[in-house]
Each structure stands twice: as C-alpha cells, then as structure tokens.
Amino acid sequence: MASASTITFNLTNNNLGIPGSLGTATLTDNVSGGVDVTITLTSGVYGVFANNQKGKGGDLFIDTTATLLKSSLTGLSSGLNVTGFKSNGTLASFKYAYDWNLAGGNSPSTLTFTLNGVSTGQISALGFHFICLGVTQCPGSNSNTGFVQTGTPVTPPPTVPEPGTLGLLGTGLVGIAGLLRRRSMA
C-alpha cells in the first residue's frame, strides 16, 4: 500500500508585495484518488475572500497537469459554494489551469476542501483571492484584497527509522563483522 504524500507550502507570493508568509497550504493525497487541502491563514489578519458587495465571491485556482472539472472541487468548509469555473488563464500575473469562483459564508482564516482526480505530484501551484481583515487597506496597497499563491514547500522533518529497522541494521553489521573476522583468521 502506497503512503500518502503530504506537502506544505508557505503562502508567500502575493500581488500586493506583503512581505513574509500569509499562512500555509497543506496538500495531502487521499485514498480516494484526490487531494485534501487545508489553507491556514494568519488568524484575524487574513481570510479567504468569499463575498463582495455584488455577491460574486473570490477565486481559488491551481496549476496542474491533471484534467479537472467544476465538480472536482468538493467538501468546501465555512459555508462556501462553487459558483463558477474556468480554465487556462491568469489572475494578477498568476498562471492557472483551473479557477473556481467561491461565494457564500464569510471570509474564513481556515478553509478545507478536496480536489478529486489529481495527486499532490500533479499540482505545481495553488492560489486564491484573500482579504485583509479588520483594515480598510492591506499593508502597502490601496486595496483590502489581493491574490496569493504557494511559494516554496516547507522542508519536512527528516524521517526517523523505526526501531525494528535499526535492529535489523545492527544484526546485519554484526554478521558482516563476524564474516570479516573469520576471513582474517583464516
């Protein structure tokens, strides 16, 4: 059985020039042939833009080699719904293969959803429309919304071998040492 692949990205690439990371996006392969996504923004500072005065909401977009549909995006949290879908375009200089328009609910700092028919290895970037909460303008801009896309993956901690693996390694080394000793005595 193959293990699930998990990649966590810092959300650093934004069109407003805000320095540092706005949060993270964690993508995990699931057993159903899709990717579970959790977007976590700095709470109380940023939110996933979901509503505007016209009720049109914001965008969630990815760049991928997979073929996806409007229905590929499921399980949206925070009362959000998919209200539109388009492919192959650019938002604020960010290239995408697919873009879902989201509306409803509020502008949450944490959003979860599933992308069906794709794996983490097929996604090169994920981005969305964000809002700066509690201010009339985001730092360094004349807008309270912008677009952000995944930056460099966060380096995962090194894997630690299981104790059984270390025991087998030790047994093998003792065996090799014994063989070498016999050869040198002969």
Does residue 80 sit within a domain? Answer: yes
Q: Are 83 and 54 in contact (CB under 8 A)?
A: no
Does residue 74 sit within a domain? Answer: yes
Does residue 160 sit within a domain? Answer: no
Domain, as residue range, for 24: 6-155
Cα separation, 93 vs 95, in Å, equals 6
Say whether pLDDT at 64 is over 60: yes
Residue 1: predicted pLDDT = 37
Does residue 168 sit within a domain? Answer: no
Q: Backbone phi, then psi, for 183, in 5-degree steps?
A: -65, -40
pLDDT averaged over every residue in the chain: 84
Does residue 82 sit within a domain? Answer: yes
**Contacts of residue 26, Cβ cutoff 8 Å, sequence gap at least 6:** 6, 7, 8, 9, 37, 38, 40
| Number of domains comprising the chain | 1
Does residue 162 sit within a domain? Answer: no
Coil, helix or strand at residue 102:
strand
Partnered with residue 13 across adjacent β-strands are 149
Does residue 186 sit within a domain? Answer: no
Which range is least confidently modeled, 4-13, 29-38, 47-56?
47-56
The amino acid present at 126, given as its one-letter code, is: L
